[in-house]
Structure 1
């Protein structure tokens, strides 16, 4: 942003949770004398296993209702294996994700309530491969902290088959993660100053942090690049914005939202008024539209611009999510928009070692950045009221 000549580029300090994976995980299941190694990855926020690992009988369930029906007598001392796939019949993979991710977020807590010694969760992806997909989990209050990990979809299929063939199958896993004291970090912010001095701002952003298994290219390197590119396009075109435009790289979306909260808190203290905030956090795929969170009148105004986008294949402009990082700004009256790209491939890479830059199409990435630039231009030039 400095090289592109943005008017101001600065860091905004924030404290963030500090979880580290440690040495690579190990896992296998054993039926009789046969051992089969399977790929796993500790979930973010999980505790470690003992140094020698955990080995126990394993119970497969698809949801919390099945787990509770088993009762403590059958679960205590065992490892719980959550094996509910993302629903492949959902048109939107984000809807499929929302329908399955509770087992990742709360699986350890629900298993621990019944005395389990560990939890293994099927990766949140519709793709069959050997990449475990990590992600955040949380512990409830008053329950033991048991280690929990994601297993690849291929590994989950093998494990499920083994349990059905031999209910006495044992599972072993070892992980070395730990949570350290909060650490200092920063949001990174660049801006183009408004010409009218009205004091309103328009923000476009992505989040800097990613899970540690890969480069975080689609989650959310692409969003950060598009947030910078949207402002760069307007500057290159010689556009002089009425309102100050900010490109914000938020820190700590993945395990706490500290960056988004810090930004919103700072805005409130400085009495900054944000007219709108746009986020890209669904991968760098072909843009299809924008989700809008705001008043009916503002939604209608934005939707009235849909014919201008239709030529470029962007038709889905309507109610939807804005984005986790910009969510706190909505509480201050900002209209929130989330870029909606084609979702079909996103969860192939989400939180996995396969989320690398070679999986990003330059053309699709640029199209998303251009769509965001166009939306910023319309909001700035014509307003929302």
Structure 2
């Protein structure tokens, strides 16, 4: 009897091993097919060329943002998806107005022009511009050290740089972005008349980098104009202030906050064949800042997400679960699209098991960052070997993404594509975030990597799904 039991267990183990090896071989072949299709016959690069060169910067509430909505909806409709629709969302409408202008003055008639750009959400300067002496600080915490006596009536110059010794450039960005977001609100409390913020950029160049900012609870009458200054000009101004402490800066902003307007998230769906009420989302944000054409931030994520569904359709892979591409509106200055999508999903009691976002540029993919329980992450980590032939090695617990963040509920796994980030902040929110900075092959590798992860999640499910299979 014991001998029969041992033989039976041996056969069962052999069958399980064969099944696992067979699954792994099938998955490897399907991933290879997805990569081949993206690299040899992809559409992401052509989509991005139109989005960037023919439409351009897509600031929420703008005409170009609406053109992008119409274009991407039309392209999704050509893919033969089961559903394509627009999800209405009210978004803020901030306009930059005429180009900004600024100079440093060391003596009457002795000036040097500097490169600045208004921060998103900033009020304008007075009609004639703003001019005052400058006080340099190394961050918001420095304001208290100088106090109202030294700050009142001056322009606060935030000059804490991104740390070059941090390999993770997003960590370096997070270490100083509070200056941009809250710097004006905090400086206004000490009587400053305006702020200049060193651009969030690791290299020295002449491109000022915009980005969203907030006045917090300040009344409109208390708000002061805020602009980013290029890193080269930040270095120059800092050096000058060491010898010319009474140097003045003049700057003129022409921005304006208008009433909210209606825009849309663009959504396409392949309905699942077995579990249509379990949803997998892949997406990026359709809006961008207006100083460039938003190719890396986040045109790349938009077209990569569209390509995921195209690859499924073209390859003949029929998903078990419903897969949605969501092109979110208003990530840059409000997150209204991400919040609206999550709100509607909750109202409809939709079961989202997985959401993947691409919003870190179209550079070479390195892997994924996951917001997940440990048991969910352990299951996903077992798929890592399937990605190693493509040099995808990074599978870590971390951050998913801003637009999918509102879907977080303790069950849904959130994931972010992680490309190589070393060049990302050279372009982020600046006028050199343009299509000519996109590498076609890197963009297509990212799309295939996203499609591969979606394929595995759909096939095997995750904890809390109707069916969970092991590789």
| Equivalent residues in 2 for 1:59-208, closer than 5 Å | 59-142=135-218, 144-208=222-286
Cα deviation 1:246-273 (Å, max 9, x = unaligned) = 0110000001110001101111111110
| Equivalent residues in 2 for 1:297-376, closer than 5 Å | 297-331=375-409, 333-376=411-454
Of 346, 349, 353, the match for 1:271: 349
Greater than 3 Å deviation, 4+ residue runs: none
Q: CA deviation at 1:346?
A: 0.4
Cα deviation 1:272-292 (Å, max 9, x = unaligned) = 100100000000000001000
Of 323, 330, 342, the match for 1:252: 330
**Unmatched 5+ residue regions in structure 2?**
1-75, 464-471
Aligned partners of 2:185 and 2:218 also within 8 Å = no
Cα deviation 1:208-253 (Å, max 9, x = unaligned) = 0001101100000000000011111111110000001001100000
Name the CA distance, whole Å, in 2 between partners of 1:350 and 1:160: 23
Worse overlay, 118-127 or 58-67 = 58-67
| Equivalent residues in 2 for 1:215-234, closer than 5 Å | 215-234=293-312
Name the CA distance, whole Å, in 2 between partners of 1:140 and 1:256: 13
Structure 2 partner of 1:17: 92
Q: Which has the higher strand share?
A: 1
Q: CA deviation at 1:23?
A: 0.4
Q: CA deviation at 1:198?
A: 4.3
Name the CA distance, whole Å, in 2 between partners of 1:266 and 1:63: 39
Aligned residues between the structures: 385
Name the CA distance, whole Å, in 2 between partners of 1:354 and 1:383: 41
Name the CA distance, whole Å, in 1 between partners of 2:242 and 2:103: 16
Q: CA deviation at 1:32?
A: 1.6
Name the CA distance, whole Å, in 1 between partners of 2:308 and 2:430: 27
Q: CA deviation at 1:295?
A: 1.2
TM-score when normalising by structure 2 = 0.81
Q: Secondary structure at the match of 1:253?
A: coil
Structure 1 partner of 2:35: none
Q: CA deviation at 1:190?
A: 0.8
TM-score when normalising by structure 1 = 0.99
Q: Secondary structure at the match of 1:73?
A: helix
Structure 2 partner of 1:283: 361
Q: Which has the higher helix share?
A: 2
Worse overlay, 89-98 or 141-150 = 141-150
Q: CA deviation at 1:140?
A: 2.3
Structure 1 partner of 2:462: 384
Q: Secondary structure at the match of 1:328?
A: helix
Structure 2 partner of 1:262: 340
Q: CA deviation at 1:109?
A: 1.1
Q: Secondary structure at the match of 1:71?
A: helix
Q: CA deviation at 1:22?
A: 0.3
Name the CA distance, whole Å, in 1 between partners of 2:286 and 2:341: 14
Name the CA distance, whole Å, in 2 between partners of 1:299 and 1:333: 12
Structure 1 partner of 2:111: 35
Name the CA distance, whole Å, in 1 between partners of 2:218 and 2:243: 36
**Unmatched 5+ residue regions in structure 1?**
none
Compare CA radii of gyration and give the structure with the larger one. 2
Cα deviation 1:301-327 (Å, max 9, x = unaligned) = 111111111111111112011000000
Structure 2 partner of 1:48: 124
Root mean square deviation, CA, Å: 0.9
Q: CA deviation at 1:360?
A: 0.5
Name the CA distance, whole Å, in 2 between partners of 1:192 and 1:257: 25
